[in-house]
């Protein structure tokens, strides 16, 4: 008969070399993050992957085994989420989640915790650490953390959101933000895992949720500076300036920021140096839809904190409006520059209306 995990925990304290990884969510970001773990597995490590879309797991396993056959015997896909508990001989040391929303994270973690509670503890039973790299709201993340700690105190759930986009995930250069007081508070094993997937690790504070707080604060800045950049380049255009020359000037002046320089919305501004989304019709890059998601999360968390934001309402208005159009929603956020030109010439009354709305609200 199965014993309750909660009543008879018997964690091994012996040091061991083997590390079992689980990865849940093999989408745009997750497939690359999981690939880096796979390629850098130590000879005794194992990686188990799961996605609700079975084809995503199948493709991941097939392409990575083909591309990197040396580790093929260490990579497994599971068909059901709870197989990560029931079919894996030793418990997973780490489970990384990279799924769209807080409700998905909560569903995955609670299903796994409930499954763990049903298994017979053995001397090999090691605690599991959940790492959530999805961008979700802080409150939901805190609730999941409390739930995990309540159900199995030896387990942990850490917010480890990332910055760097799909390109950073592909190259393995992501920045991780996590709720730890300092680098000394990050265990060597956890650091090893994070460094497999990313280049920069930022401990953001000891209490749970500080990683997400940093991520949302940064992405709020990105969302609003992107609006200001579109405004600034359209203003320069209305003055008759050469926009490529203006882009160069901004890159060494006080208006310098990621949206103006690294993601400059002027096609051909940096022809010899790099190809930007603006050069290919604003395809790829960081989509308007995802920017809106992060802006809404940031401003909603600010509201709950009674933290007024100068540009919260204005930003939400414009990103909501942009996302009414599939063409804008699914293209890089630099497309706001092009879109603003359209609004100026054809719908100037609408623009005035918004300015008034923002003024009244303020």
Which positions are annotated as active-site residues?
215
Q: What is the dihedral of CA 180, 198, 334, 214, to 10 degrees?
A: 0
135 near ligand NAD (CB under 6 A): yes
108 near ligand NAD (CB under 6 A): yes
CA distance 266 to 208: 40
| Binding residues for ligand NAD, total number by CB under 6 A | 26
Task: Select from 161, 191, 166 the least CA-distant residue to 176.
Answer: 161
Shortest Å, Cβ 86 to ligand NAD: 16
- Choices 18-26, 36-44, 82-90, 190-198 (CB under 6 A): range interacting with ligand NAD: 18-26
Instruction: Give the residue with the Cβ less far from ligand NAD, 101 or 279.
Output: 101
27 near ligand NAD (CB under 6 A): yes
Instruction: Give the residue with the Cβ less far from ligand NAD, 30 or 265.
Output: 30
Q: H or E segment at 307?
A: none
Residue nearest to ligand NAD (CB): 27
29 near ligand NAD (CB under 6 A): yes
165 near ligand NAD (CB under 6 A): yes
Please, which residues have CB within 8 angstroms of residue 148's CB and are 6 or more apart in sequence? 109, 113, 130, 155, 156, 157
Asked whether the CA dihedral 116, 188, 176, 19 is positive or negative, the reply is negative
What are the strands of the beta sheet with 198-203, ordered from one edge? Answer: 162-163, 174-178, 198-203
Interface with ligand NAD (CB under 6 A), residue from 88, 152, 166, 199: 166
Shortest Å, Cβ 101 to ligand NAD: 7
153-157 long-range contacts (CB < 8 A, ≥24 apart) are 154/9, 154/11, 154/127, 155/113, 155/116, 155/127, 155/128, 155/129, 155/130, 156/127, 156/128, 156/129, 156/130, 157/109, 157/129, 157/130, 157/132, 157/208
- How many C-beta atoms surround the C-beta of residue 218 within 10 A? 17
104 near ligand NAD (CB under 6 A): yes
Residues 231-290 that bind ligand NAD (CB under 6 A): 286, 290
Shortest Å, Cβ 35 to ligand NAD: 13
Shortest Å, Cβ 246 to ligand NAD: 28
25 near ligand NAD (CB under 6 A): yes
Rg (alpha carbons) of the chain, rounded to whole number: 23
Interface with ligand NAD (CB under 6 A), residue from 39, 107, 202, 218: 107
Give the interface with ligand NAD as residue ranges (CB under 6 A): 24-30, 50-53, 56, 98-100, 104, 107-108, 134-135, 162, 165-166, 286, 290, 293
């Amino acid at each position: 008969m199965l014993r309750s995990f909660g009543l008879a925990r018997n964690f091994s304290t012996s040091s061991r070399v083997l590390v079992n990884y689980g990865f849940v969510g093999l989408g745009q970001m997750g497939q690359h993050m999981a690939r880096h773990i796979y390629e850098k597995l130590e000879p005794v490590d194992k990686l188990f992957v799961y996605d609700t879309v079975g084809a995503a797991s199948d493709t991941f396993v097939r392409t990575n085994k083909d591309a990197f056959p040396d580790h093929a015997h260490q990579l497994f896909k599971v068909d059901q989420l709870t197989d990560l508990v029931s079919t894996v001989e030793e418990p997973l040391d780490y489970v990384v989640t990279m799924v769209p929303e807080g409700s998905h994270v909560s569903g995955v973690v609670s299903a796994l915790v409930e499954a763990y509670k049903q298994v017979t503890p053995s001397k090999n039973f090691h605690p599991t650490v959940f790492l959530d790299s999805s961008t979700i709201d802080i409150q939901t993340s805190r609730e999941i953390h409390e739930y995990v700690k309540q159900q199995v105190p030896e387990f942990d759930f850490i917010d480890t959101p990332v910055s760097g986009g799909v390109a950073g995930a592909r190259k393995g250069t992501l920045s991780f933000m996590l709720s730890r007081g300092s680098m000394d508070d990050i265990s060597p094993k956890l650091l090893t895992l994070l460094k497999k997937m990313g280049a920069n690790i930022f401990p953001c504070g000891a209490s749970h949720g500080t990683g997400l707080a940093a991520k949302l604060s940064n992405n709020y800045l990105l969302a609003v500076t992107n609006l200001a950049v579109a405004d600034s380049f359209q203003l320069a255009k209305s003055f008759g300036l050469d926009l490529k020359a203006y882009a160069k000037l901004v890159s060494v002046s006080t208006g310098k920021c990621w949206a103006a320089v690294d993601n400059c919305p002027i096609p051909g501004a940096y022809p010899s140096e790099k190809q930007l989304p603006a050069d290919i019709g604003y395809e790829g890059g960081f989509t308007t839809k995802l920017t809106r998601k992060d802006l809404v999360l940031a401003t909603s968390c600010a509201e709950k904190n009674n933290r007024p934001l100068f540009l919260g309402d204005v930003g939400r208005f414009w990103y909501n409006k942009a996302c009414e159009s599939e063409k804008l929603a699914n293209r890089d956020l630099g497309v706001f520059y092009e879109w603003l030109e359209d609004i100026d010439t054809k719908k100037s009354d609408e623009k005035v209306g918004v300015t008034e709305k923002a003024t009244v609200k303020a």
